[in-house]
Amino acid sequence: MDVAEAIKTRRSIRSYQNVPIEKEKIEKILQAAQLAPSAGNYQNWRFVMVRNKETIKKLAVICANQSFIADVDTVICCCGTKPDHVMSGGEKSYCVDVSIAMSFMMLQATELGIGTCCIGAYNQAKVKTLLRIPDDVRVASLLTFGYPHFTPAPTDRKPLAEIIAVEHYLQPYQ
């Protein structure tokens, strides 16, 4: 599978098989995060991999009681280690940097036949307490990983003319 195919076929998976992910596949996913670009190449991130079933069940509760999380093989908590670092454009770099690394992990997982779901509904303080994440680190998101029961159909996407502008904001792509 090439990158274009991985981008086209990746879906948010919320139903997983009770099948463990092989160590070598987990390693490839983690290496994808390691290779992701970051602002200034500072790599101000830390990824907490959780495979303990009891901890995963607790995360499901902390993540807005999303019960499907309890059934995943692996959860990776994606953190920014320098949450106050601001890029020259005025945005905090950890949001951008961690998002890029997460995208790399999701695409690598897709190539390996592993489903993912990005979790944005969670209690920051409770996740940090459960996973012993220091106060000065920010949880950006969590990712679930596992073999899907099924792959959902593609969702509708807006046409390019609605999301792309040319030369200035008001000039739509044609």
Q: What percent of the chain has pLDDT over 70?
A: 100
CATH of the domain at 132: 3.40.109.10
- The domain in which residue 91 lies consists of 3-163
- Is 17 contained in some domain? yes
Residue entry with tokens 């969670």: 122
Sign of CA dihedral 132, 138, 142, 143: negative
Per-residue pLDDT tens for 77-132?
999 999 999 999 999 999 999 999 999 999 999 999 999 999 999 999 999 999 99
For the chain, what is the domain count? 1
Instruction: Report yes or no on 171 lying in a domain.
Output: no
Question: Is the pLDDT at 151 greater than 90, yes or no?
Answer: no
Residue 172 lies in a domain: no
The pTM is what? 0.95
| 168 occurs within a structural domain | no
Query: Quick count: other Cβ atoms within 10 Å of Cβ 120?
Result: 9
Cα separation, 90 vs 53, whole angstroms: 40
Q: What is the mean pLDDT of residues 143-171?
A: 94
* Residue 174 within a domain: no
- How many residues does the structure list for the chain? 174
The one-character DSSP state at 45 is E
Q: Using only C-alpha atoms, what is the Rg of the chain?
A: 17
**Contact between 133 and 49 (Cβ < 8 Å):** no
Task: Phi first, then psi: give them for residue 8, nearest 5 degrees.
Answer: -70, -30
